[in-house]
Amino acid sequence: MTQAAPSVSPLDSSAPRLNRNDLRTLALAALGGALEFYDFVVFVFFTKALGQLFFPADMPEWLAQVQVYGIFAAGYLARPLGGIVMAHFGDRTGRKRMFTLSVFLMALPTLCIGLLPTYAQLGVFAPMLLLLLRVVQGVAIGGEVPGAWVFVAEHAPPGRVGFACASLTSGLTAGILIGSLVAAGVTGMGAEKMLAYGWRLPFILGGVFGFFAVWLRRWLSETPVFAELRERKELASELPLKRVMTGHLGGVLLSMLVTWMLTAAVVVVILMTPTLVQSSFHLPQKLAFHGNSLAALMLCFGCIAGGVAVDRFGRGWSLLVGSVALLVTTYLLYRDLGQGAEHFMLLYALAGLCVGVVGVVPAVMVAAFPPAVRFSGLSFSYNIAYAVFGAITPPLIAYLAAKLGPMAPAHYVAVTAAIGVLCAVYLLTTRREFHER
């Protein structure tokens, strides 16, 4: 398999600077990504309320929660469908069209969730409609995240792809921060008001945000890389995914493994820890949400740091150091929790910063596939891995916690971080060449 080497060395400080157009594209893409990712993750912050509202009042609370988590997981399981379909057309007709379509498909169901009748009003059709809308959200995010990474990477000059991908990732994670802050604000209304109408506000707000993102993306242009492929008539003549599966299985495996680490870092450390610290370590809800907001903020900075490291030191070294830092800080956080949580805020912020290794991951995946099938290769690998590991992680953590105790989440993240280390060693020892653009 012949692969093109990077046109600019990672250690070359003479790499072209981002010009005004590049920065504008990154800003618009990151803002739109933040708004769309907020729409997708805000669901997890209201699982308890949704369990009470969309299932019978006499249903045991634990069973209602399991069913809501099942609906939440359905969004992950639907991601490959959206990713594969949108990536196919993204490789054949253009990146920009799919980039705009994905955010529209997210905004509409999010708004509809905020307007849904509850079980008391509609009976069994209420949870069925909630499931349907969650599936549409999954289809949308399946096309959005890989499409966004490809879009900004192909707009960035050589030698700045790491920063471009990390900026977009930072924008996506800012959506988690927004969701955490909104959840903290709504829960502050009190349980009665939240169940009466407050739970609707984050979804309605998310729908409005999403349509604003659609409008913003009107100002983006097609990527120069795709335009050049179209001009030279070098677009994939057969199914792009077929070419990926027959010629780039190494890139698929590498991308799936680093996605597993990304999934564990985000889902366990950022999304699940606020609930885990309440249930396993008995921290107050307010403190849990404040800690989560700080960790999500530090994650945004961590992503940028990861991208800068990629452009300065290369993908392999950045992935290696970031994976080790993730492993160490997650253990420090959970060990402190087990000893009374004296340093909870500080260590959660540090762990959030080190989750920023996820800012390195897209640069690895973008470079693993040639431009003609890049969207399909990245989307297939990322979405299949995220669907599997994103869906099984919450119940698996619950099972492991019952068997291994409250340190189980840290053990799980450590396993995936070790896999990240192995991927980094592979990149460094094989001196694997990449498709820079």
How high is the pLDDT of residue 251? 92
* CA gap 137, 110 in Å, rounded: 7
- Residue 83 or 413, more confident: 413
Torsion of CA 145, 151, 157, 158, to 10 degrees: 60
Instruction: Report how far apart the first and last C-alpha atoms of the chain are (Å, whole number).
Output: 17
How high is the pLDDT of residue 1? 35
How high is the pLDDT of residue 219? 74
- Residue 261 or 393, more confident: 261
Residue whose structure tokens are 């105790």: 405
Amino acid identity, residue 172? L
In tens, the pLDDT along 175-233 reads 878 887 888 788 778 888 888 888 999 999 988 888 888 887 777 777 777 777 676 65
Alpha-carbon distances of 91 from 97, 106, 125, rounded to whole Å: 11, 21, 38
Q: Cβ contacts of residue 44 below 8 Å, gap of 6+?
A: 72, 179, 271
- Residue 60 or 113, more confident: 113
pTM confidence score: 0.81
Q: Provide the CATH topology of domain 20-430.
A: Growth Hormone; Chain: A; (1.20.1250)
What single DSSP character describes residue 368? T
Q: What is the mean pLDDT of residues 39-51?
A: 81
Residue 238: band (very low, low, confident or very high) from pLDDT cuts 50, 70, 90: low
How high is the pLDDT of residue 46? 83
Tell whether the model's pLDDT for residue 89 goes beyond 70.
Answer: yes
**Measured in whole angstroms, how far is the alpha carbon of residue 141 from the centre of its chain?**
9
* CA gap 328, 106 in Å, rounded: 36
What single DSSP character describes residue 189? T
Q: What is the mean pLDDT of residues 6-15?
A: 51
DSSP string, 10-61: TT-TTSPPP-HHHHHHHHHHHHHHHHHHHHHHGGGGGHHHHHHHSS-TTS-H
- Residue 77 or 205, more confident: 205
In tens, the pLDDT along 301-346 reads 999 999 999 999 999 999 999 999 999 999 999 999 999 999 999 9
How high is the pLDDT of residue 217? 75
* CA gap 362, 304 in Å, rounded: 12
Hey, where are the domains in the chain?
20-430
